[in-house]
Amino acid sequence: MRRRLRIAAAAVLATGLALGSAGCSKKNDDEGSTGEGGQVKLVLQTFQNFGYDQAIKDFEAAHPNIKVEHQKMGELRDFQPKLVQWLAAGSGAGDVVGLEEGVLFGYVQNPDKFANLLDLGAGELKANFPEWKWNNALTPDGKKLIALGTDVGGLAMCYRKDLFQQAGLPTDRDEVSKRISTWQDYIALGKEFKASGKVKAAWLDSATSLMQPYVMQNSETFFFDKDNKFIGDTNPVIKQTWDMGLQMAKDGLTAKTQRWSADWDGAFKNSAFATLPCPSWMTEGVIAPKSGPANSGKWDIAKIPGGGGNWGGSYLAVPAQTKHPKEAYELAKYLTSKEGHLAAFKEAGAMPSDIAGLEDPAFKDKTSEYFSGAPTGKIFGESVKNMKPVFLGAKHQQVWETIFEPQMQAAERGRLSSDAAWKKAVDEAKKATS
């Protein structure tokens, strides 16, 4: 009897502890409620750093009947699953929510959970944005707009001036831009860099770094066609960058560090590579803190080989469950206006996506001290102007970050042959998207 009881106790204990970890989180407050004095309370949910502290103060000053509660929800990968749950449950989501470009497409396909901003009067804003930025948030039939654009990620090439000098390469940013005007030139200069034999550092951080800018420049689609069907295996541009990057690795031009890992951080601090394709949000937001103050003034920024391009960028949407769609739209409209964009740029370095913001001196004349005084506003602004839209697809982020990039890294480190890694990536992606 005692024995049976003990088994039962153990089973109950096991159940209890197993369940303990299956806990759930729930947002508490009564968002969207009308406070005293007829004041409307709006909840704004964003991830990472949208840089909206000042913009919200300005908005509240202009709209005394609205109070904004800004909930900063941490990383995108923490916020996104929660948002999906809140949208499905019909409560919990803020009145205005931030959506990243990569996840936006999934919502465009299932737009019922969001308010139609066109019904709220967003049509008048169309001319304020680059066409592609606007169209990305539009349903295929053009009848429903689910979000307004916040920032974009203009592209450039960040490089280490000091390492260039040691290797006897030009260091002036205009000169460098000229020397790397195409990707072939870029690779050739890398070989020159290595052949000098004077620098221990590699040319590029990782073979996978070329994928994003190269595909964005040379194709209208990435891993998915416009019907959201997986075409990663047949889109020739993807295999081209795959081979190009791995050939560079073979030639000893890459540092073979896995991006976003502790080793990558170490490589920045140890000056282990000389160049890195960088979207605007990466300059002050990633490179400067990772390289540390010791390397301040050693970095510089040149134009990206092959012209412009985009990498990243977000949107603001109004969930259909909000009780105050009008006020929520007002807030989203303000934050994506020129004033909102420039305030966010000042606070977090998020590059404006609206055309007026891109032309404003506050953005245009911006220079970066960390990057040897490079005119970041001018360089990134130009890279966005003649940009073509690229269709990403609902599962783009998943296919790139969790399937293609790791397999490419495996091939780069010699764990698998390039062909074997390619086959694995394609098989896995097909399975994940079927």
Partner 1 sequence: MSSTVRAVPPSRAGSPPPPAPLHRRRTYRLGRWDLKYSPYLYVAPFFVLFGVFGLFPVLYTVYVSLFDYELLSGTREFVGLENYHLLMQDAQFWNAAYNTLGIFVLSTVPQLIVALMLANLLNRQMKARTLLRMGVVIPNITSVAAVGIIFALIFADRYGLINWLLGTVGFDPIAWRDNRFASWFAIAFMVDWRWTGYNALIYLGAMQAIPKDLYESASLDGASTWRQFWAITVPLIRPTILFTIIISTIGGFQIFTEPLMYGNGLVRGGVDHQFQTLAMYIYEKTFTGNSEYGYGSAMSWLLFMMIIIFALINFALVRRSVKGDKK
Q: Which is nearer to partner 1, 178 or 269 (CB)?
A: 269
Is residue 8 close enough to count as binding partner 1 by CB under 8 A?
no
86-125: contacts with partner 1 (CB under 8 A):
87-88, 106-107, 109-110, 112
Is residue 136 close enough to count as binding partner 1 by CB under 8 A?
no
Q: How many residues bind partner 1 (CB under 8 A)?
A: 50
Please choose, from the candidates 23, 149, 144, 43, the residue with its C-alpha nearest in 3D space to the C-alpha of residue 93: 43
Please choose, from the candidates 66, 64, 70, the residue with its C-alpha nearest in 3D space to the C-alpha of residue 40: 66
Is residue 285 close enough to count as binding partner 1 by CB under 8 A?
no
Stretch in the footprint of partner 1 (CB under 8 A) among 51-59, 125-133, 180-188, 410-418: 410-418
In order, the DSSP letters of 128-153 are GS-HHHHHHTB-TTS--B-EEE-EE-
d(CA 98, CA 100): 7
d(CA 225, CA 398): 16
Name the minimum Å distance from CB 410 to partner 1: 4
d(CA 326, CA 320): 11
Is residue 401 close enough to count as binding partner 1 by CB under 8 A?
yes
**Cβ-Cβ contacts under 8 Å for 372 (sequence gap 6 or more):** 161, 173, 297, 298, 299, 300
**Cβ-Cβ contacts under 8 Å for 95 (sequence gap 6 or more):** 31, 32, 42, 43, 44, 318, 319, 322, 323, 324, 327, 328, 331
Is residue 291 close enough to count as binding partner 1 by CB under 8 A?
no
Is residue 13 close enough to count as binding partner 1 by CB under 8 A?
yes
Is residue 420 close enough to count as binding partner 1 by CB under 8 A?
no
Q: Which of 1, 5, 18, 61 binds partner 1 (CB under 8 A)?
A: 18
Is residue 1 close enough to count as binding partner 1 by CB under 8 A?
no
Backbone φ and ψ for 138, nearest 5 degrees, come out as -100, 140
d(CA 13, CA 7): 10
Is residue 227 close enough to count as binding partner 1 by CB under 8 A?
no
HSE toward the beta carbon, residue 352, CA cutoff 13 A? 29
Q: Which is nearer to partner 1, 11 or 62 (CB)?
A: 11
Backbone φ and ψ for 258, nearest 5 degrees, come out as -80, 125
Q: Which of 27, 132, 402, 423 binds partner 1 (CB under 8 A)?
A: 402
Name the minimum Å distance from CB 223 to partner 1: 13
Q: Which is nearer to partner 1, 36 or 112 (CB)?
A: 112
Is residue 19 close enough to count as binding partner 1 by CB under 8 A?
yes
Name the minimum Å distance from CB 86 to partner 1: 10
Q: Which of 49, 54, 71, 85 binds partner 1 (CB under 8 A)?
A: 85
**Cβ-Cβ contacts under 8 Å for 344 (sequence gap 6 or more):** 50, 51, 52, 55, 150, 151, 335, 350, 352
Q: Give, as one character, the DSSP assignment of residue 90.
A: T
Name the minimum Å distance from CB 103 to partner 1: 9
> For the chain, percent helix, then strand, then coil, each to nearest 5?
50, 15, 35
Name the minimum Å distance from CB 367 to partner 1: 32
Residue 362 CB: number of other CB atoms within 10 A?
15
Q: Which is nearer to partner 1, 147 or 302 (CB)?
A: 147
Is residue 415 close enough to count as binding partner 1 by CB under 8 A?
yes
Q: Which of 158, 267, 351, 387 binds partner 1 (CB under 8 A)?
A: 267
Tell me which residues touch partner 1 (CB under 8 A): 7, 10-11, 13-22, 24, 77, 80-81, 84-85, 87-88, 106-107, 109-110, 112, 257-258, 260-263, 266-267, 269-270, 272, 395, 398, 401-402, 406-407, 409-410, 413, 415-416, 424, 432
